[in-house]
Chain A
Amino acid sequence: MTRSEPTGAGAGAGHRRADQSAAKAGERRSRAAEARRHDEAVPDARDARPATGKPASPAGWRRAARGARVALHQRGWADARWSFLYGRGDTRYAAPIEGDADGVAAAARRMRLETPPPAELRGPFLQPPVWTWEVPLYFWFGGVAAGSSFVAAGCDLAGDRRSARLARAVALAALAPSPPLLVADLGRPLRFFNMLRVFKPRSPMSMGSWCLSAFGGLLAGAVSADLLGRRRAATALGAATAVAGTYLGSYTGVLLAGTAVPVWARSRAFLPPLFICTATANGAAMCRLALTASGGTPEGHPTRAALATVETLAMATELAVSTLNERRLGSLAKALEDGRAGRLMRAAKWAVRAGLALRAARSAGPAAGHLSSALFLLGGLAFRFGWLAAGRASAEDADAVVTASRSGQRLLEPVVRERLVVERRHLDPAG
């Protein structure tokens, strides 16, 4: 109804007053329209797009024609070539270099490697790991699944089909929560499928993702074959699952070892075997408890007895290797002893020791055996949470990072901390 008209156009002299008010109204209307147009032109949200492209991406525009010049575009980064400092001879910024024998490499070695580090270390040197509770919980579930797949393959070999079926079911039940836990830990959970975008043998996480998929597929096939009564297919698929389980149970330790976190990286030869020990023990414990709960296997059943032996041996090995590793780590083991990680590791060790003591007590009844299995399971869980917490503490500890980067990396050589401290005290200008 209200049409904005050009103000004052065609206004007669006899109707000046009326025209003036009409003009004013028209002006107001046009001003409102102008404001509206302005509002529409400027969006509410700030346009955050960079001038060209977006961060880490190729520029979003195309040249009008092949080879066309772009404003401000300079070939060969010519804008970086001019300098008041080094582009001219009169600043004596750099001396002419003759050959390679200019002492540059020697100076770097002297200052970087042979001069002791300062007494006061001010980090941060590393970014602490970002992984939260989902990851150690997945490590535990994945370990139980891998251990159970070993048990299933062993039972098949021993001719105990019923226990093998049950062990595979236990493995599947333990595997089921793993993918959701891993997806929940991602910063962008909806992009979880990008994990299977590349096959990258170099990256333990890529290989772990593929291994988890393969293990899950094989295990699901084996359990289906069990349900369909296809005994030979179930045995074959179960054996393949166990082979995949060797990587599923160990790659979690490899994953931690392949980082810059001192306590993880320096345990590289020990972490994966430790994880395998707890995985085997926890798988056996879970299967043994499931066998007992399902009934049908009496107290003296050979499978149950064998699983108890496996649990005990694997956990005793874990305890021994763990102690050896901590001795070896020297001062880096501080991350495993102090704070939250220390509490978790102590809890894990006491749970394992209590379980072993219960097993050693021959007079104890079957209930004591079940209790020790439960203690081993709890110990394995606390152990994995403890290692994760230790990694965070170690990455934030500047002393640990500097010690690890300065000392050699031989397998059984203790990381010498004390020598480093003494050197620093003597040689640092601060006294």
Chain B
Amino acid sequence: MTSPLTVIPPGERAVRRPHGDGAQRMGFFTDTTVCIGCKACEVACKQWNDLPADGSVFRRGGSYDHTGSLGANTWRHVRFVELLEPAETGYLPQIPATSGDLDLVGAAEGAADMSRWVFMSDVCKHCSHAGCLDACPTGALIRTEFDTVVLQPDVCNGCGYCVSACPFGVVARDHDDGRAAKCTLCYDRLQDGLEPACAKSCPTDSIQFGPYDELVARARGRVRALHERGMIDAYLYGAGDEPEDRLAGGLGAFFLLREPPERYGLPARADSPVQENVPQATAAGLGAAAAALVGVAMTLVGAHRAARRSQPRRRLSRRA
């Protein structure tokens, strides 16, 4: 019999297999070198998960990317990274006016300045040390039998802690719905043996889905192949790292990149902020609070003692 209250022990391993050996860790390997920026994955994700559109605005600061960023209703987002010739004053291309007539000639001329134009299909990283999972006070966020991190919308009460606890800016709270939302790695499809919608729709196999170990092995081989071809800047973001360099304990959805991570809006280092900061913060807070409690008590006791020491004389004099 299960008790109505689930106790989650502090020593719980971030990655565990609640269903025994039947299931294995599944993940995404997103290879940005073959991404063509078609955004089919975004569309497929929205269609399968019934997510509303977020509107279409060219990103402020200049970019042809017009679908914003990851959010409560965008669980896959193809980021456009325009790299201009070094001679240019900045990195930002001249984007044609978003309202009125579209200046196609100007757009083409702006594109000519670009030395490279890279795309990256961003998604929830399904971290081994998941900040959102550590932060969630209701147990709405769970780790599934596929070692993915899934938010159960029927449990979430919209406290918003996971939003701030995600070091990758993935989880968001929908304004109208009130609950947090993020990629589920198509948990419903996985259970039926189907690959996630975004990976299914990817026309260039930039998004690859499969058993985690197989994916990591293939990704390592890919990096090696690129290195052999002279692309020595190719590297894996989130897999194949030495233990001390790991990103959030290793990412269930990892990427092959060729630029510093900040170009893609990713942090160079990340870990679950809860695991990183809470023990020290709690110790500091409880220590300070104990000191404050003792200080308050001592001040009060001291003041009363001093008063009592001076009072008897007064009482004596009053009696006299």
Contact = CB atoms under 8 A, between A and B. Distances in A.
A407 B290 CA distance: 32
Given A94-B225, A103-B224, A157-B301, A310 B296 contact: yes
B96 interface: no
A80 to B, nearest CB: 4
B320 interface: no
B167 to A, nearest CB: 4
A111 B235 contact: yes
B157 A275 contact: no
A258 B48 contact: no
A112 B268 contact: yes
B178 interface: yes
A201 B274 CA distance: 11
Nearest to A164: B300
Nearest to B234: A107
B281 interface: yes
B235 A104 contact: yes
A137 interface: no
Nearest to B164: A259
B233 to A, nearest CB: 6
A386 interface: no
Nearest to A401: B267
Interface stretch (B36-44, B102-110, B187-195): B187-195
A160 interface: yes
Contacts of A323: none
A78 B211 CA distance: 11
A59 B237 CA distance: 32
Contacts of B275: 202
A330 interface: no
A50 B48 contact: yes
Nearest to B199: A80
Contacts of A123: 169, 265
A178 interface: no
A77 B258 CA distance: 29
A50 B188 contact: yes
Given A127-B172, A187-B159, A154 B296 contact: yes
Contacts of A284: 296
Contact of A260 (B26, B137, B165, B191): B165
B201 to A, nearest CB: 12
A358 B14 CA distance: 53
Interface in B94-143: 131, 134-140
Interface centre among B209, B235, B298 (most CB of A within 10 A): B235
A79 B210 CA distance: 10
B205 A125 contact: no
Interface residues of B, number: 138
Interface string B1-34: 0000111111010000000000000100000001
B51 to A, nearest CB: 8
Contact of A97 (B217, B267, B288): B217
B150 interface: yes
Contacts of A180: none
Contact of A57 (B152, B224, B287, B288): B152
Interface string B52-66: 000000010101000
B139 A104 contact: no
Interface string B199-237: 110001100111000000111111111011000111111
B91 A59 contact: no
A273 B195 contact: no
Interface in A184-218: 185-189, 191-192, 194-206, 208-209
A159 B303 CA distance: 11
Interface string A147-182: 000110111011110000000000000000000000
A295 interface: no
A261 to B, nearest CB: 6
A155 B297 CA distance: 7
B282 A272 contact: yes
B289 A198 contact: no
A280 B219 CA distance: 55
A199 B6 contact: yes
A369 interface: no
Contact of B163 (A53, A129, A155, A280): A129
24 contacts: A73-B194, A77-B195, A86-B205, A93-B221, A94-B220, A122-B61, A127-B164, A150-B297, A151-B296, A154-B296, A186-B158, A187-B159, A191-B155, A192-B157, A194-B140, A194-B155, A197-B5, A206-B137, A251-B282, A265-B276, A265-B277, A277-B288, A306-B302, A405-B167
The 8 closest A-B pairs by CB, nearest first: A187-B158, A272-B285, A250-B285, A187-B178, A94-B221, A246-B289, A191-B157, A53-B188
Given A112-B261, A186-B157, 11 more contacts: A55-B184, A57-B187, A111-B233, A122-B63, A126-B169, A188-B156, A188-B179, A202-B278, A269-B284, A303-B303, A306-B303
Interface of A: 48, 50, 52-59, 70, 72-81, 83-86, 92-97, 102-105, 107-113, 115-127, 129-131, 146, 150-151, 153-155, 157-160, 185-189, 191-192, 194-206, 208-209, 242-243, 245-247, 249-251, 253-255, 257-261, 264-265, 268-273, 275-277, 279-280, 284, 302-303, 305-307, 309-310, 313-314, 391, 395, 401-402, 405-406, 409, 411, 429-431
